[in-house]
């Protein structure tokens, strides 16, 4: 299993915090704005898991 690690800054918009997703990953996973992902918390980690494509044509 290969692990990729990238450093990203947390940015705020109003009272919410955001982290930019790496564009190479979103392109490989075909994630577009408006798509839905799972956000899984386990111990001190957060994982983002793409849902199968369910876009309306």
Kindly report, residue by residue over 21-45, the tens digit of the pLDDT: 999 999 999 999 999 999 999 999 9
Computed over every residue of the chain, the mean pLDDT equals 89
Q: How many whole angstroms from its chain centre is CA 7? A: 14
Cα separation, 33 vs 36, in Å, equals: 9
Q: Is 24 helix (H, G, I), strand (E, B) or coil?
A: helix
Residue carrying the six token digits 């994982």: 47
Q: Give the pTM.
A: 0.72
Question: In this model, does residue 4 exceed pLDDT 90?
Answer: no
Ordered by start, the domain boundaries in the chain are 13-50
Question: In this model, does residue 57 exceed pLDDT 80?
Answer: no
Structure tokens at 1: 């299993």
- Model confidence band, residue 55 (pLDDT cutoffs 50, 70, 90): low
- Residue 54's pLDDT is what? 66
Structure tokens at 37: 């992902």
The CA-based angle 6-19-9, given to 5 degrees, is 60
């Amino acid at each position: 299993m290969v692990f990729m690690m990238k450093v990203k800054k947390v940015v705020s918009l109003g009272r919410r915090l955001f982290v930019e997703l790496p564009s190479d990953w979103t392109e490989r996973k075909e994630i577009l704005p408006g798509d839905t992902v799972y956000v899984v918390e386990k111990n001190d980690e957060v994982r983002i898991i793409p849902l199968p494509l369910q876009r309306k044509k």
